Each structure stands twice: as C-alpha cells, then as structure tokens.
Amino acid sequence: MNKTDGRRQIVLAEVAGFCFGVQRAVEMTEAARRSRTGTVTTLGALVHNEQVIARMEAQGIGRAGDLKAIQEGTVVLSAHGASPSVLAQAKAQGLDVVDVTCPFVTRVHRMAKQLHEQGYQVVLVGDPGHTEVKGVAGLIESLGGTVTVVATVEAVRSAPLGKKVGVVSQTTQRPEQFAAIVAEVCKTAPDVRAINTICNATEELQAAAARLARQVDIVIVVGGKQSANSRRLRQLCEEAGTPAYQIETAAEIDPAWLEGKEKIGLTAGASTPDWILEEVARHLNGGDLPAGWRLHHPDEKS
Ligand code: F3S
C-alpha cells in the first residue's frame, strides 16, 4: 500500500497488467523488427491496446486486417493463434511467418486435436467469432471434423450433442462457466471428457481485482477500450460493490471520481504494458511513483 499524502492511498492489485503470452508476443515482434529486413506486419491488432500499437508503428511495425493486404516481408500472427489455413495462405503468398501464438493457446489446439483423434465430438466453450475460437475450429476442420462452440448453458441445451463429447475452453473463459457447461453436457452425453484449458493468468488477474475492490473506495482499471479482459475486471470490481472506471491513459481520469475517496485501487488488463500503468500511478500520486511500487504480473507458469 502506498501513500500519496496524509489523505490518499494508492493500492496496487497483487497482480496486474501484461500476461506472459502478450508480453512474449510483443517481445517476439519487436525482435523480428530488429533482426529482419523488409516490412514486418502484424495480422490484426497484436494486443488490444492502442498505445502499444502506436509504439510499434513508431518502430516501423505495420498492421493489416487481412493477409491479402500484405504483399511481402514478414507477417506476425496473433497471440490468440491462427488456423492452419491462415498459415498455409501466408506461406503460399511467400511471406515469412512469425507465429507468436501463446503457449497456453497452443495447448487448447493440442487438447482439441487429441480429443478429435480419440473420437470425441469437440465442444469448445468460448465466444463465437473470437480469433482464438476461429483458430481452434479451423484446426479441427483441417482434420475433417467440426467444433461445436458454446458460450452459455442455454446454448448447450440446443446444441446437437452425440454420445462421446470432449470439452475444452477458450483460455479466457470463467472457470464457473466452464464447469456449468460441462455439467450440462453430462446430462445428455454418457461419455464426457473435459480438459480445463483456461489460462491461470486470467483467473489470477480477476481474483486479484476482486480482492482489491473489497479493500478500496474506487478502482481504476487501466486497459484498452477493445480489451474484453479489462472490461471484465471493471465489472468484477463493480460486482464487489466498488465504483470502478476503465481508462486507457491517465488523461482520462476525471478528478470528480476521486473526490472524497481515500483508498484508490489500481489494476490493469492483460494487454496493458507496465509503462502505461506506471504513468497512471504517477498521475494519481502527483508525479512520482508511489513509495514501494512493485508490479507483479500474472503467474508466468500458469
Ligand atoms: Fe496467453 Fe493467457 Fe495471456 S492464454 S495470451 S497468457 S491471457
């Protein structure tokens, strides 16, 4: 806990900010830029954070929404993974590929493939349309199978399920949701195999945010507007009964939020780099980092 003056304290979440996979993706992309000649372009936004993307652009790293828009050089695929067809298309276009898929996402691919090969109908708990979900579905389709994607218990009830069902999860799903869906599958399928592929980084960030919210008067969540996990942190803080605001930069802090508040909680989503979180901490603390500032990221060994 850090004091700004006699009245206000800044309390940092026990873990906050960049997860292992995003940090690794950013470092691999920057290393590719340093070591390669020609253009380096990310396919889609590497991280859901505009400030990080702007910093990459300043280093000469481009961004394209579609492979067809990349004529030459190196393409960096998403930390959320890609389907084999995307990889094949990139290679067919003659592009060098840097695959920054997070190892925890690779594990989802591996487990889904294993279940498919063992004859299970693969059910993926996840958000239809998310890059990670598309990557897993694309992999199983390339092996001649299909993936049944469900986001809710209700969706399971109307899904066409066989007798032998294997369930995996998008890495960022909530454990309670995964467990509820597996329980629902068990009501109709006699042979069920569930593999928990949720990444601990998400759980750790969320648990730390909820604990933080219970100790403070207000929580500031630093995270990109497009970052679903940052939004989720804000929601969890509000569910704990504490007002919470999501901001991208210190400039967005409305002084009215802080009026009459003594303990200010600070956390950040998994796509927020340390330098932005530190900037916000300095702003709240009148210029310097709060005394004893020590930032811990979600567990790298999750
Ligand atoms: Fe990987 Fe988990 Fe981050 S899956 S990208 S370490 S949230």
Asked if residue 104 has its Cβ within 6 Å of ligand 1, the reply is: yes
Tokens of residue 12, six digits: 């940092």
Task: For ligand 1, atom 1, name the residue with the nearest CA.
Answer: 21
Tell me how far the alpha carbon of residue 4 lies from the centroid of ligand 1, in angstroms: 33
Average pLDDT, the chain: 93
Query: Residue 245 burial (CB < 10 Å; 0-12/13-18/19+)?
Result: middle
Residues 166, 110: Cα–Cα separation, whole Å: 13
**299 — pLDDT class (breaks 50, 70, 90):** low
Q: Are 9 and 264 in contact (CB under 8 A)?
A: yes
The per-residue pLDDT for range 231-260, each reduced to its tens digit, is 999 999 999 999 999 999 999 999 999 999
Q: Which ligand 1 atom is nearest residue 199's CA?
A: 2
pLDDT at 198 over 80: yes
81 C-beta closer than 6 A to ligand 1: no
Break the chain down into helix, strand, coil percent, rounded to 5.
Answer: 45, 20, 40
Where does the pLDDT of residue 227 fall: very low under 50, low under 70, confident under 90, or very high at 90 and above? Answer: confident
Q: Is 205 in contact with 233 (CB distance < 8 Å)?
A: yes
> Has residue 202 got a pLDDT over 60?
yes
pLDDT at 1 exceeding the cut of 50 = no
| Predicted local distance difference test score (pLDDT) of residue 13 | 97
Decide if pLDDT at 177 tops 60: yes
Q: How far apart are CA 22 and CA 292, in angstroms?
A: 26
- Higher per-residue pLDDT: 148 or 130: 148
pLDDT at 7: 67
pLDDT band at residue 216 under the 50/70/90 scheme: very high
Q: Burial level of 127, CB count in 10 A (0-12/13-18/19+)?
A: middle
For range 171-181, the mean pLDDT: 92
Mean pLDDT for the stretch of residues 161-177:
94
Is the CB of residue 22 below 6 angstroms from any atom belonging to ligand 1?
yes
**What percent of the chain clears pLDDT 70, i.e. is strictly above it?**
96
- The encoded tokens of residue 80 equal 């959320």
Mean of pLDDT values over 278-291: 94
On the question of pLDDT at 5 being above 70, the answer is no
User: Separation of 188 CA from ligand 1 center, angstroms?
Assistant: 32
Residues in the chain: 302
Interatomic CA distance for residues 102 and 97, integer angstroms: 15
Mean pLDDT confidence for 148-158: 97
Q: What is the pTM of this model?
A: 0.84
pLDDT beyond 50 at 301: no
Angle, to 10 degrees, between the axis of helix 228-239 and the axis of helix 200-215? 40
Q: What is the mean pLDDT of residues 2-7?
A: 52
Question: Catalytic residue among 27, 50, 117, 132, which?
Answer: 132
Mean pLDDT of 258-263: 95
pLDDT at 6 over 60: no
Name 88's Cβ contacts closer than 8 Å, sequence gap at least 6: none
pLDDT, average across residues 88-108: 96
Q: Which pLDDT belongs to residue 35?
A: 96
Cα Rg, the chain, nearest whole Å: 21
Active site residue 132: yes
Q: Structural domains in the chain?
A: 9-19+200-284 (3.40.1010.20), 20-101 (3.40.50.11270), 104-194 (3.40.1010.20)
Which pLDDT score is estimated for 172?
A: 86
pLDDT in tens, 28-71: 999 999 999 999 999 988 887 888 989 999 999 999 999 999 99
pLDDT digit string, tens, across residues 110-122? 999 999 999 999 9
